[in-house]
Structure 1
Amino acid sequence: MIDLFTPWTFKGLELKNRVVMPPMCQYSVEKKDGIATDWHYVHYVSRAIGGAGLIIIEMTDIDPDGRITDNDLGLWSDEQIPALARIVEACHKYGAKVAIQIAHAGRKAQDAPIPVAPSAIAFNDQYKTPRALTTDEVKALPEKYAQAVKRAVQAGFDAIELHGAHGYLIHEFQSAFTNKRTDEYGKDLTRFGTEVSQAAKSEMSAGMPLIMRISAIEYVNGGYGLEHSTALAKAYKEAGVDLFHVSAGGEGPIAAAGKPGTHAAYQVPFARAIKKAVGTSVIAVGRLDDPVLANAVIGNEDAELVAVGRGMLRNPYWTLEAAAKLHKETNVPNQYLTGFAH
């Protein structure tokens, strides 16, 4: 039987357990230069000390105007590499593997003078109306993703995640709710995400997994459902995506904010469905903070990995606590052994 503390290997990625820290924006860049700070170092390294198998660094943007806010991380410049490399090296020292989420906020770039998007549709009346990208501009964007991925590889990351969820740029292109284009990027809603995936893959070694975070359903009238996201996942798999991180929402009220559901494991059925239909490994996420529940998701083979967000914000040592509660063996730092003695 497999459980939360069964090691997992995929391609060249070897994880000591199935626990993932998902990307969660810290909005903690101090000089608006996209460079990780001491806050980011302590934040991520403490979760590595706390036992997480895979840590995914928060949304890191390909362009200064592609950030949600000017306090977000970036990888549009070589100057941003060393601070991230320092985090990766320290996390490795404590037994965690590290991925990074590469993204562009699209119409949800709050601090951009004029955000860009597939179509000139504002997220809501509190957001700026974006400018619709020209076809030539769209064609140039995958290379920006590729250059960010190239820098991530130089920084020593073990895997790359593309952000195709939560209403950001890739998601905006793949949804008929936000994409009203009449060119090839409107006629084929998978085209942009496919081109970005292929561009990212071109900068990665054969043993390095490419993850796509995807919204399985949209919580808005006129939004897509599981049938569409399954078709998206199949196209992205063909383009080189190895693993799907299955979330939901982003074009309407996000589920985590209270609509339409906040019950435990509310997104696990989506992960299970995409895993079965697409034939890929998946990361389940969403209200999985209870170790017994997280363990059941793995044991029932609903997903290969479980992401624990709020639980790790509250407790950097969530994974060590989970092992104690589930009576599983894990490597507790020598300095903390007294705290976990029976």
Structure 2
Amino acid sequence: MTPCPAAFAIPGDIATLTGGYLYERRLLDGLRLIGHDMLHLELPASFPDPSAQDMAVALAALASVPADRPVILDGLVFGAIDPAGLVQIRAPLVAMVHHPLATETALTPGQRDHLFATERANLRLVRHVLVPSPHTRAILIDRYDVAPDRITIARPGVERPRLAPSPVSPPLILSVGILHPRKGHDILVEALGGLADLDWRAVIVGRAWDRAHAAALERQIAASPVAPRIRLAGQVTDDALERLYAQATVFALATRFEGHGLVFDEALVRGLPIVSCRTGAVPDTVPPQAGLLVPPADAPASGGALARVLTDATLRRRLAQGASRAGKDLPGWDHTAAVASRVLAEVRAAAT
């Protein structure tokens, strides 16, 4: 189909270092490379908890888009924007749902009910839904009653590593994810505390998305019996992260939930054994031959899995080979853009 004019509505700075923002930045660039005239709408950064003024600003920006230009609406906005305002938008809407906001951790029952009701109402106002994984698709079908033919999986792409593996000694355990309770870094730190008799060091890379949680992690690490061996690196440059991936022996993320998890793909293409949790989309993303998955929020289980990978050279080699094989089959971002391009063209054609 011929590329059509479209828009992508994203809250805040598109260069924000999270998996969701990386996905949307790559998708926006990919659609432009295909030939789409893409309008980038930068909406207020306060979503998914906007003020009344920011809500009005977002709705006004969406209302300015002409009726022949489909709009991809980021999930942080889509899950929280007022349905009464969204129904007034002329442009055909496509939701980009990484995972429903109501599935986030650390929500009060009231917050969860509000987000679920908002997302459910808004899902009835969009022409189509893009999701990154079969798991998110299943949630929308089973819990939100979205018709299967209105959902398309646009699997994230992956970039190939720029550096060859160069594992360091002692072995480096690398974890990458924003400092947010959902990522389970607190569970990983607790697990590492039980591995004092083994030789390793750990680096946790991630932006302080939740500052209170980041401060709590710093205190937890300081009180850990293995504190000198754990570094909370915060946000790092792309080059620094590339070096850490090259130096790592194992990738670990004790996540409580993932809608996909781009970092797992990054670990797979680098042939890193993975230790994570059997939750959300992780089992769909991390093949059994590439990693060990344990129950979420179970520090002893995470520690036991890490100990096995660190001490069993045969297992470590087998998982590394499995990761490499799986990584070779992962698509690039051009595939993600092509999938979204077809959806935009079909939505525009149906609306005109």
* TM-score normalised over the length of structure 1: 0.32
Which protein has the larger Cα radius of gyration, Structure 1 or Structure 2?
2
Q: Which is helix-richer, 1 or 2?
A: 2
